[in-house]
Each structure stands twice: as C-alpha cells, then as structure tokens.
Amino acid sequence: MSVMVVRKKVTRKWEKLPGRNTFCCDGRVMMARQKGIFYLTLFLILGTCTLFFAFECRYLAVQLSPAIPVFAAMLFLFSMATLLRTSFSDPGVIPRALPDEAAFIEMEIEATNGAVPQGQRPPPRIKNFQINNQIVKLKYCYTCKIFRPPRASHCSICDNCVERFDHHCPWVGNCVGKRNYRYFYLFILSLSLLTIYVFAFNIVYVALKSLKIGFLETLKETPGTVLEVLICFFTLWSVVGLTGFHTFLVALNQTTNEDIKGSWTGKNRVQNPYSHGNIVKNCCEVLCGPLPPSVLDRRGILPLEESASRPPSTQETSSSLLPQSPVLTEYLSSNEMPDTSTPEQMPPPVHPEPPQEVAEAEK
C-alpha cells in the first residue's frame, strides 16, 4: 500500500506585499521594478575596471609600483559592495495601516470635521508635532492610510512610504532612505575616488607609452584606454558633484527631499530641528548611528487561509502582511524626537488623532 505525501506550498509575505517592488532570493533582495539604469551602472563600473585591470594595471605594476592594482582592486570591491548593499536592501519602508486602523482614522476625521458641503474642499489631514522646540507637521498618506512619521515621504515610483526619505535613485535601482543612506553615500564617495584613480593612471599610462612610441601611435595601439578615459571624464563631474552635494547634506543632517522642498530654508527661516549644530555630530548620527531593523517581515509565512485567497485590494492585503502599528510608535518615540510635548500657546489641533498606538507615543 503506497502512501502519498502532500506538501503544502508555503507562501511568504513578500509575495503579497503591496507596493511596486521586486523580490529575489526568496524575499532577501528587495528592489524597485525599474532596474534598467541599475544594470547600466553595473555595466559601466565592471566594464571600465575590467579594461583597466586587463591592460593598464599590468604595465603600471611593472613600470611604477605593484601597489597600483592592489589599491584599485580595494576601491573596486568596496564600491561594488556598497552599491549592492544599497540596491538590495529595504530602505526603510513603513507598514501600511490595518483595515481596522484605517477605518478608525476615517471615523475620527468625519467626527471631527463634520459633514463637508458638496463642492467644498475638505481640510488637510495634518497633525502638529514638536521636535526640539520646532513644530513639525505629520501628514496623512491617503495610500498607506497612516500619519507619516517626521521626515518620511511616499515614493511615487515604489508606492511606499519610506522613513527619512532622501530620494529615489534609478542608478542604484532603489529608494534611498534611513536604512541604506549611509551605504549610498559610501558608494558615491568610493566611486568618485575610483573614477579619479582610474582616470589619473590612464593618463599616466598614455604618457609613459608616448615617451617610447609617440602620442598618436599610443592612441592607435590602446583603444581601450581611450574608451576608459572618455567614460571616466564624463562620469567624473556628475559623481564628484553628487558626492559633494551629499557631503553638504550630511554635514547639515538634511535630506535631498527636504533640500528640494526648502523645508528649513524657506521664507519663514525655520531652523532644522534635527541638526545638532555641529558637523561632527551630524556626520556621526547619519553615517555611524544605529541602523534600525527592517519592519517588513518579508520572509514570514502567511497563514494557509490568507495565502489561499487572493486579496481584492491593497488595503486588505496589508492586514495579513505587515506588522501591527506599534512600529509607528517606535518611529515617533525614537531619538530624533526627544521632545514630544505640544506647546501650550498653540491651539489644540483641529485634525483627528492618529490611531491609539501613535497617540500613546505623543504623550
């Protein structure tokens, strides 16, 4: 008598997560769907460095020093490691509200604002919050059904709210946020050094060869070197300029999104409440501070009932995929917000309170 063993298919949570992301390696790798420019980035780095190691490095190691290819290899490996770490990681996606929480918020909004006359625009859904004696507005996200934590923003490309959202970078194929910004900065910094290094030693290689066979003959015999020089020349300005811009932002503890919107340099001249007023402290917080874990349980297993049924909407999907909203409480009670008391001179907010877990963090 034969016994048949039926294996039930395990459904991971990443297979049903809302948002426009792609996952690989059973949910371990998380990227945006648009990855064409990311592949171009890999091709340019790998192609240029392959030509450099194959032709110029051998000649320069003999004529000048064997340390030249060693240092180039270190820069190359570090650049690739930080690029892949930036591209394949969760940038800090914030879970969407559960259906019960979203319904509670909508009910509170209707109870507070009352019936809005037809044709009249409803008031904005904003919550006032105090950080280091500065009033910061918590904006409501109509897609994720949550009051976004400070410095968070909704990425229209990935369709997710990202904590400490900086920007969406197509060159790395991912959003840049709180969990991968330091790796993004280290990537562009090391790539700038690598580009300058390869460009400089290509010029040295051409100069040494020109002393023996002439400049024009050298260009004819080394078309790969000419290609490397052209790629490095046109890449150098953008990469070095981008590195300088982000160094400026790191020194001020500011994000690209805040700089573009002029959040702290507008007409009101509101000071940045997240800056420590010291460049060293700002750099240490951004680049060396504790890295929060991902709140998306991407590799978690869905219950059988939930995995068997296909969710009809994004809102219903999030109820079985994402953690409960206490994680938002962690956002609002983090070190970025040491003072959460509302100023006495301000009138009470007109807009509704967020769910109970978020309200507890404000106390």
Given the structure tokens 């301000």, which residue do they identify? 346
Contact 318, 18 (CB under 8 A): yes
**Catalytic entry in 49, 158, 161, 169:** 169
Active site residue 144: no
Residues annotated as catalytic (active site), given as ranges: 169
